Chain A
Amino acid sequence: MSDAIDLLLNTSLWASVLRIATPLIFGVLGALLCERSGVLNLGIEGIMTMGAMSGWLVVYMGAPLLVGLIFAALCGAMMGLLHAILTVPLGLSQHVSGLGITLFASALAYYLYRLLVEVGDLPPTIEAFKPLDFPVLSEFPVLGPILFSQALPTYLALTAVAVMAYVLARTPLGLAIRMTGENPHAVEAQGLNPIRIRIGAVVVGSALMAVGGAFLTTTAFNSFFPGMVQGRGWICIALVVFAGWRPGKALIGAMLFAFFDAFQLRLQTTVEGVPYQLFLMAPYVLSIVALVLVARRAEVPAALMAPYRRGER
């Protein structure tokens, strides 16, 4: 027991919380943006895989790391566009289309990786993002190493939360997106085009998801391997519900989740006699528990999963 308390007081645990939360923050923001406009995007798991592969690949081929993130975002946007076309103008089942995108994007990522990269005994590696070093600030006791020794993508994720919160809550664009998720007919009556708004939201949301995936291969690890997203996308879908479709709460949810994950990772090495699989199950069990806890009072966007057809009620 005292071991567990020692762990909680360890700054490296708290620094790793932000690191583990980063891909989730990108993913949950992306999923949240899609859903706020009324489109469930179950393509997330595959889009993150595609982002992880494509971002890593261009860096492996010689591009700078930042270009890797941008390229991952573009690839994610393409997958998002495909999902948007199928579900918004065509009005197909968002569940089935999303799963199709996940299967397709992951398969394509694995295929292209095998095709373009010579894999020996060990997967090839790149020079990953390094923790930034803010002079003075990082010397600050406790908070210094936690907040000011992260890698660049983590700060991008935190910025994205602020931007998303501001845009959704305080700008006409945000109002239009939220209204499209609640009542697309009202949007149409305002002279705006709900179809375009939904397509835009899904494309941008998917780009964010892909950057979350790219974090895994350009920061958390320095190589790509099949199955590395490991259900993080599905966890993000659960986190959106847990966060009540709000960016600020999404950040808290992702951090809370990452905290448990970081904690179980460290418990694995200190507690003996418990099969490690039980610890690895924790994140998934936790996601289900979180869903059950909030399900009753979840304020789901009213038009989520309802396809919009002009002139049809």
Chain B
Amino acid sequence: MMRLERRSHVPLHLAIIAPLAAILTALLLAAGLIAAADVNPLTAYGEMVNGAFGSRLSIAEMLTRATPLVFTGLAAAVAFRARLWNIGGEGQFFVGALITAWIGHSLEVPGWIGVPILMFAGMAAGAALLAGPAFLRLRFGVDEVVTTLLLNFIVILFVGLMIEGPMRDPLAFGWPSSVPVDGDYRLPDLIPRTRLHIGLLVAIAAAGAVWLILARTVFGAETRAAGLNASAAAFAGISLPQTIMGVALLSGALAGLAGSVEVMGVTAGVTTTMSPGFGYAGIVVAMLAALHPAGVVAAAVFVATVFVGADAMSRATGVPSFIADVIVALCLLTMIVALLFTTYRVRR
């Protein structure tokens, strides 16, 4: 009879091996699907790596894609640590983007003041959007998974309403788009003549800040306690409602910042298709990082590699680019199994 025994602490080598093993397993499983498309999986994976790392331009493109994933990954990691199931990253991303475009279109201050103001506005919007479900959970006991998920649909419809109505850009051709942020508030390029912008540095700074908050502040200790054992935390005198609300505001703000930075750095205006599921992919990023802020940056780069690489691979081999979503989803499933082995050991 085998049974599981909780480890007292997770050894470092296991913490590093777990995500690698999970990714490898996911790639092996997805190889079967690639083979079903009559393409050699090794060729396909080679094309993917090439598509994400093959040139200066592709690396820049991959890092551009990783930037919002760092923010949404941090948002999920912060929330999941306290067992606040924020699945609304997608909606928070969009409200952050929308308010940034709205204010950024008519704001008349210099860029160096305006950019922080717009970031703050995006964070406030994201935080406000998650404060609602957090309040409903604390006040009425409504499960936040369902409310945050449903809010994603409501927000996307709201974005559609705004960009076809009050915020419509009269100069945009084809698909409706919101008015763009003023040129003063476009984030400068990090690598010239690519789409990569200094938002990446903001994202890395955010990961550092979140790490400091979680590891070095009382609030961080309280969130960890709330996530590990809520009743024990309450017994120790931690106010759970305050902690959960604090976590919600931080998590929502991070996801809102993702949208704000994406607008100022990449798209200028808001469209309903500007996010290929950044909010949902953020959950995978957070889990692959085992909810650790430093791991989030690495995991975001991996997930961005899969997405950008799969597009290139699809063009070269004809394998449908949905394979990227399959790989990322498989990574989530294999990672939670891998995490089981890092937190428990098998005893006979």
Mask, B271-297, CB within 8 Å of A = 1, is 000000000100110010000000000
Known: A95-B145, A115-B37. A281 touches B326 (CB 8 A): no
Tell me which residues across on chain A come within 8 A of B130, comparing CB atoms.
none
Report A-chain residues with C-beta under 8 Å of the C-beta of B154: 281, 284-285
Q: Considering the complex, give the chain B residue whose CB is closest to the CB of A278.
A: B161
Closest chain A residue, CB of each to CB of B30: A111
A190 at the interface (CB under 8 A from B): no
Q: Is B213 an interface residue (CB 8 A)?
A: no
In the complex, whether A192 has a CB less than 8 A from a CB of chain B is no
Using A92-B340, A277-B158, A291-B142 as known contacts, say yes or no to A99 and B150 having CB atoms under 8 A apart. Answer: no
Known: A99-B332, A238-B150. A114 touches B320 (CB 8 A): yes
A99 near B146 (CB under 8 angstroms)? no
Chain B interface (Cβ < 8 Å from any Cβ of A): 3-4, 33, 36-37, 80, 85, 87, 136, 140-143, 145-147, 149-151, 153-154, 157-158, 160-161, 164-165, 280, 283-284, 287, 320, 322-323, 325-326, 328-330, 332-333, 336-337, 340
Verify if A171 is at the interface (C-beta below 8 Å from B). Answer: no
B contact residues around A277 at 8 Å (CB): 157-158, 160-161, 164
Q: Which residues of B contact A107 (CB under 8 A)?
A: 322, 325-326, 328-329
Q: A100-B332, A115-B320 are in contact. Are A241 and B147 (CB under 8 A)?
A: no
Contact partners of A37 in chain B: CB under 8 A: none
CB neighbors of B among A6-46 (8 A): 42
A295 beta carbon closer than 8 Å to chain B: yes
- Least CB distance from A285 to B in Å reads 6
Selected contact of B332 from candidates A42, A96, A280, A298, CB within 8 Å: A96
Q: Output the nearest chain B residue to A236 by Cβ-Cβ distance.
A: B146
- Are B158's CB and A104's CB within 8 A? no
Residues A292 and B325 in contact in the complex (CB < 8 Å), given A86-B333, A115-B320: no
Query: B326 touches which one: A86, A97, A111, A296 (CB < 8 A)?
Result: A111
Decide if A110 is an interface residue (CB 8 Å cutoff). yes
Report how far A284 CA is from B142 CA in the complex, Å: 15
Nearest 5 Cβ contacts at the A-B interface: A107-B325, A114-B320, A103-B329, A104-B329, A277-B161
- Listed A/B pairs (24) with beta-carbon separation below 8 Å: A86-B337, A90-B337, A92-B337, A95-B85, A96-B336, A97-B336, A99-B280, A99-B283, A103-B280, A103-B284, A103-B325, A115-B36, A241-B143, A275-B164, A277-B160, A277-B161, A278-B157, A278-B161, A284-B153, A287-B146, A287-B150, A292-B136, A292-B142, A295-B140
**A284 cross-chain contacts in B, Cβ below 8 A:** 150-151, 153-154
Q: Which of A86, A237, A287, A298 contacts B336 (CB 8 A)?
A: A86
> Could you tell me the distance in whole angstroms from the C-beta of B271 to the nearest C-beta in chain A?
15
Could you tell me the distance between the alpha carbons of A90 and B136 in the complex, rounded to whole angstroms?
Answer: 31
Q: Are B150 and A235 in contact (CB under 8 A)?
A: yes
A128 cross-chain contacts in B, Cβ below 8 A: none
A93 at interface by CB-CB < 8 Å: yes
* A82 to B140 Cα, complex, angstroms: 32
* Chain B CB within 8 A of A108 CB: yes
Interchain CB contact under 8 A, B140 and A114: no
| Residue from the list B142, B280, B283, B337 in contact with A295, Cβ < 8 A | B142
By a CB distance below 8 angstroms, the chain B residues around A91 are 4
Interchain CB contact under 8 A, A238 and B146: yes
* B286: min CB distance to chain A, Å: 10
Which residues does chain B contribute within 8 Å of A287, judged by CB atoms?
A: 146, 150
Contact A103 B141 (CB under 8 A): no
B45 to chain A, nearest CB (A): 16
Q: Cα distance A101–B336 when bound, in Å?
A: 12
User: Is A114 touching B147 in the complex (CB atoms < 8 A)?
Assistant: no
What sequence of 0s and 1s flags, for each residue 113-133 of chain A, a beta carbon within 8 Å of any chain B beta carbon?
A: 011000000000000000000
**Is A248 an interface residue, CB under 8 A from the partner?**
no
The minimal Cβ–Cβ distance linking A257 to chain B, given in whole angstroms, is 13
Asked if A234 contacts B333 (CB within 8 A), the reply is: no
Which single member of B141, B153, B280 contacts A231 (CB below 8 Å)? B153
Report how far A280 CA is from B16 CA in the complex, Å. 45
- Given the complex of chains A and B, what is the CA–CA distance between A101 and B326 in angstroms? 11
List residues of chain A with CB within 8 A of the CB of B141: 295-296, 298
Within 8 A of B (CB), among A290-308: 291-292, 295-296, 298
Max chain A C-beta neighbours (<10 A), residue from B145, B161, B322, B328: B322
